[in-house]
Structure 1
Amino acid sequence: MREFSTEVTGRTVGLDIGDRYSHFCIVDTDGSLVEEGRVRTTESAMQRHFRNVGPMRVVLEVGTHSPWVSRLLESCGHQVLVANARKLRLIYAGDRKNDRVDARCLARVGRLDPQLLAPIRHRSGSAQADLAVLRARDALVRARAQLVNHVRGTVKAWGGRLPSCSTPAFPQRVHSSVPDALLPAVDPVLATIAELSQRVRAYDRHIEHLSATRYPETAVLRQVNGVGPLTALCYVLTLEEPNRFRKSRSVGSYLGLCPKQYASGELQRQLRITKSGDVMLRRLLVTAANYILGPFGPDCDLRRWGDHLIERGGKYARQRAVVAVARRLACLLHSMWVNDTVYEPLRHSVPIAA
């Protein structure tokens, strides 16, 4: 568990970051109000206001601006705590909610017990920039899928039906099957799909280059069948520092793949997974788990364990097994990364004789 010094910083600042202006509240060690105000949410304004005021503990809520603001405040010599928004029910469920009140709440909670904020740690600037490449590729893939569905739906509503094919080959394969009356509407969309496919391939080449030159540890993770360059790089960039997890099992919870807990007395409920953490990495791990449990998945410990869960039956047995395999895969990748080990698909099982 992270520990926070109270000796270095005598004052605590609650900073509620807005898109144009950010409200701040400063309290001393006794909780007395020292100063309130607002500052423009720009790098120059933040530096002018917080650079020469002495070291303080600054508490802010995670959000769009929190990565660069936290790095800037740390460069000014302050101790920065980025609060987990899921743990701030005091703010988002309050009867009086405005920027000034939110800043006060952040300051007072940060002064009393920082652990109540469940503080998170933002990744470095270089990792954020490289991860932006993966997110941009993901946005193009989603846009392309939406356009493909639009074309199929348009033709189907006309009474036609387009042949099945891969997404990259979609524009060339289906053009001849589009009714002539719909060509003026569909042709520009097909051209856009083709261009998006070219952009996605360019991103794939760039991701391969990044993995080989700047993140060679991804080669260790790619030993597992179903984990490609995209999943491996996203995993490395999201975790960034594997040694901050004392146990590999903690990674599954960090990525939101563990079920919520509700137990009170004799009552125990089985709930859905938390879905906290990075959405894209969680989706990629679930995709890898689907491949491992699918018809083309190789024989390995993960597959056998997942098949056993499916055989046990129950409601949504396969969906539960996929999530469970994704969670175990996340833990396995962390263990391989930390120990730099060679992947053994059947380490805990006996191979099936041909």
Structure 2
Amino acid sequence: MRYVGLDVHWRQSTFCVLDANGKTLCTRTIVGPWDKVLLALGQVKPPFAVCFEASTGYGYLYERLGAMAAKVIVAHPGQLRLIFRSKRKNDRVDAAKLAKLLYLDEVPPVYVPGLEVRDWRSLLEHRQRLLQERTRAKNQVRALLRQHGVKAPRGLWTKAGMKWLLSQGFAGAGTALQRDLLCERIGSLHGMVKRVEAELANIASRHPGVALLRTIPGVGLRTAEAVLAYIDDPERFASVKAVAAYFGVVPCQDQSAQKQRLGHITRQGPATVRKLLTEAAWVAIRRSPTVKAYFERLHHGDVDRRKIAVTATAHYLLRVMHAMLRTGEVWRGEAA
């Protein structure tokens, strides 16, 4: 078995090959797209294992490399301290370190979902970007109105509100043009969001787990599909603690001897899911006596603990969702 460490980039990539004894056989730098890199790796004498860091397009490379290599491991870049904390860092050094970690079986791996799930996740993140862009455009409209001392009515983004906005007269032609362009952008983004949500609804209809998670009070379609898309296979997590750590809703820990300090949540993993979980937690607190009791037990009526309590409630909902996906049981509030 040979071991290949691949430091991959779009325009230039470097790989290092070790033999069965861990001795360096060769190091090559390939200038060009990934197809040229794959062609060069195809010349390595099989069998060989290959390791590279997760980045944009890692799923595509994983599948292409899987067709030629005996073993492919995608490394977690945030856990490769040997590389990202190194004082001497370049592509050849990084490729050699990846090859050595692969040889020693010390690569921190990441889970690589199938093409369908990767496409699902990508569409979820695209929707989130569209929403953020639409929010920025709306904020610019409000700022424009404030600049001219115009108070916006309630329901500004309804049809009646938009009609009112377009009817406003401004002293400068430039201001009116900005208003018109922003309104057009908001309308265009609204249409894009609707198209994306229609496709997401179509995808969600093919996954029974989405309907299962929606039996939880406060968990809507968007939250259920996001959690399911990123969990994918609930059996890949050894425990509920591993699920919480994956989504970054566990506290940072600094422990030494008898001293232990817990800080803010780690915020690792998909931020979109954490956002949706928090929104679902607020709704569940209002709709479910069980969730409300859990929240109030942590809140203690202290305003300063409100955010801590809702984050813990989101963590609780995530654990419940994982358990439901593993067992196939619907929400049972009295036993949750």
TM-score, normalised with respect to structure 1: 0.87
Letter in 2 for 1:138: Q
Q: Does 1:184 align with 2:177?
A: yes
Q: How far 1:94 moved relative to its partner?
A: 1.5
AA partner of residue 3 (structure 2): T
Aligned residue in 2 for 1:67: 59
CA 1:122 to 1:329, structure 2 compared with 1: closer, same or farther past 3 Å?
same
Displacement of 1:332 in angstroms is 0.6
How far apart, CA to CA, are the structure 1 residues paired with 2:243 and 2:136? 32
Question: How do 1:173-322 residues align onto structure 2 when only pairs under 5 Å count?
Answer: 173-177=164-168, 179=170, 181=172, 182-212=175-205, 214-293=206-285, 297-311=286-300, 313=302, 316-322=304-310
Give the corresponding residue for 2:83: 91
Residue equivalent to 1:36: 27
1:77 is displaced (CA, Å) by 3.2
Contact 1:171–1:194, Cα closer than 8 Å, also in 2: no
Calculate percent identity across the aligned residue pairs: 27
CA distance in 2, matches of 1:45, 1:78: 20
For residue 333 of structure 2, give the secondary structure of its aligned residue in structure 1.
Answer: coil
> Aligned letter for 2:296?
D
Does residue 161 (structure 1) correspond to residue 151 (structure 2)? The answer is: yes
Shift of 1:62: 1.2
Q: Which deviations, in whole Å up to 9, do the C-alpha atoms of 1:13-46 show, x marking residues without a partner?
A: 1100112121000112322110100235645324
Asked whether the equivalents of residues 25 and 104 of structure 1 are also in contact (C-alpha less than 8 Å), the reply is: yes
79, 82, 98: which is aligned to 2:71? 79
Secondary structure of residue in 2 paired with 1:318: helix
Over 3 Å counting, the alpha-carbon distance change for 1:125 and 1:164 in structure 2 is same
Give the C-alpha shift of residue 307 in structure 1. 1.6
Question: Is 1:346 equivalent to 2:305 in the alignment?
Answer: no
Distance 1:290 1:166, change over 3 A: farther
Match of 1:51 in 2: 42
Task: Specify whether residues 313 and 178 from structure 1 end up closer, same or farther in structure 2 by C-alpha distance, changes over 3 A only.
Answer: farther
**Letter matched to residue 144 of structure 2:** T
- Runs (4 or more) in structure 1 with deviation over 4 Å come to 166-170
Contact 2:6 2:16 in 1 (8 A): yes
Q: 1:23·1:39 contact (CA, 8 Å) conserved in 2?
A: yes
Q: Pairwise mapping of residues 62-141 of structure 1 onto structure 2 (< 5 A)?
A: 62-114=54-106, 117-141=107-131
Please name the residue that 1:171 is paired with. 162
Q: Which runs of 5+ in 2 are unaligned?
A: none
Correspondence for 2:313: 325
Tell me if structure 1 keeps the 8 A contact 2:15–2:27: yes
* Distance verdict in 2 for CA 1:41–1:223, change over 3 Å: farther
Task: Give the distance between the partners of 1:215 and 1:177, measured in 2 at CA.
Answer: 47
Distance 1:28 1:86, change over 3 A: same
Q: For this pair of structures, how many residues does the alignment match?
A: 332
- Following the alignment from structure 1 to structure 2, what is the Cα–Cα distance between the partners of residues 168 and 194? 11
What is the distance in 2 between the residues matched to 1:203 and 1:14?
Answer: 38
Matched, 1:16 2:7: yes
Cα offset, 1:113, TM superposition: 3.1
Structure 1 segments unaligned to the other structure (5+ residues): 1-9, 349-354
Partner of 1:7: none
Q: Give SS of 1:269's match.
A: strand
Match for 2:165: what amino acid? V
1:237-256 CA-to-partner distances (Å, cap 9, x unmatched) read 11111111232342111111
Q: What is the rounded CA distance, in whole Å, between the counterparts of 2:242 and 2:332 in structure 1? A: 22
Q: Shift of the alpha carbon at 1:262?
A: 0.8
**SS of the counterpart of 2:208?**
coil
RMSD: 2.0
Partners of 2:217 and 2:288 within 8 A in 1: no
Does the CA contact (< 8 Å) of 1:162 and 1:177 recur in 2? no
Secondary structure class of the residue paired with 1:217: helix
Rounded Cα–Cα distance in structure 1 between residues aligned with 2:321 and 2:169: 45
